A and B are shown apart, each in its own frame.
Chain A
Amino acid sequence: MPGQVLMPGEEKIEIPITFTPREQKDYYEVIKLNFNNGLYFIDVVVQGRGIPLHLDLKDPDQVETNLGVVSVG
Chain B
Amino acid sequence: MSGKKSEMVFEYTPDQVGDHDSRWLFKIPSEKITQEFLVVGRVNEPNVLFESGKLKFGPLLLSGKAKETVRIINQEHIPFAFNFSNSSVKGSPDYGDSLKVSPMSGLVPAYGEIPVEIQFNPKFELTYNYNLQCNIKRKARPLTLNIKGEGYQIHHTVMADEPQVRASATEACKLDLGEFFINEVKTKQVQLSNDGDFNFDFQWKRIPNKFITISPDTGTVHKGSTETITIEYAPTAENSLKNYKATLSVLSGPKYDFNFCGSARKPGVKLNQHVFDFGQCFVTSQPVPNKKTLTITNIDN
Chain A contacts to B: CB under 8 angstroms: 6-24, 27, 33, 35-36, 39-40, 42-53
Contacts and interface: CB of A to CB of B under 8 A. Distances in A.
Nearest to A29: B276
A22 B283 contact: yes
Nearest to A4: B296
B293 interface: yes
A3 B280 CA distance: 31
Interface in B271-299: 271, 273-284, 287-299
B207 interface: no
- With most chain A CB atoms within 10 A of its CB, the pick from B181, B267, B294, B300 is B294
A22 B287 contact: yes
Interface string B172-184: 0000000001111
Contacts of A9: 298, 300-301
What DSSP secondary structure best describes chain B's contact surface?
strand
B271 A42 contact: yes
B269 A42 contact: yes
Contacts of A11: 297-298
20 contacts: A6-B296, A8-B268, A8-B301, A10-B297, A12-B296, A14-B295, A15-B294, A15-B295, A16-B293, A20-B289, A22-B283, A35-B269, A39-B182, A39-B183, A40-B182, A44-B274, A46-B278, A48-B278, A50-B283, A53-B284
B20 interface: no
Contacts of A20: 281, 287-290
A45 to B, nearest CB: 4
The range of chain B's interface size is: 35 or more
Contacts of A18: 289-292
Determine which residue in A7, A43, A48 has the highest number of CB atoms from chain B within 10 A of its CB, and name it: A48
A48 B299 CA distance: 30
Contacts of A50: 281-283
A17 B294 contact: yes
B67 interface: no
The 4 A-B residue pairs with the shortest CB-CB distance, nearest first, are A48-B278, A6-B298, A39-B183, A12-B297
B277 to A, nearest CB: 5
Contacts of A24: 283
Contacts of B266: 40
Contacts of B278: 19, 27, 46-49
A6 B288 CA distance: 32
Given A20-B290, A47-B278, A49-B279, 18 more contacts: A6-B296, A6-B298, A7-B298, A10-B297, A13-B295, A13-B296, A14-B295, A15-B296, A17-B291, A18-B289, A18-B290, A18-B291, A21-B283, A21-B287, A33-B271, A48-B281, A49-B280, A52-B283
A40 B281 contact: no
Contacts of A47: 275-278
B290 A19 contact: yes
A32 B291 CA distance: 19
A61 B271 CA distance: 51
Contacts of B284: 53
B301 A45 contact: no
A40 B296 CA distance: 14
B238 to A, nearest CB: 11
A23 B298 CA distance: 37
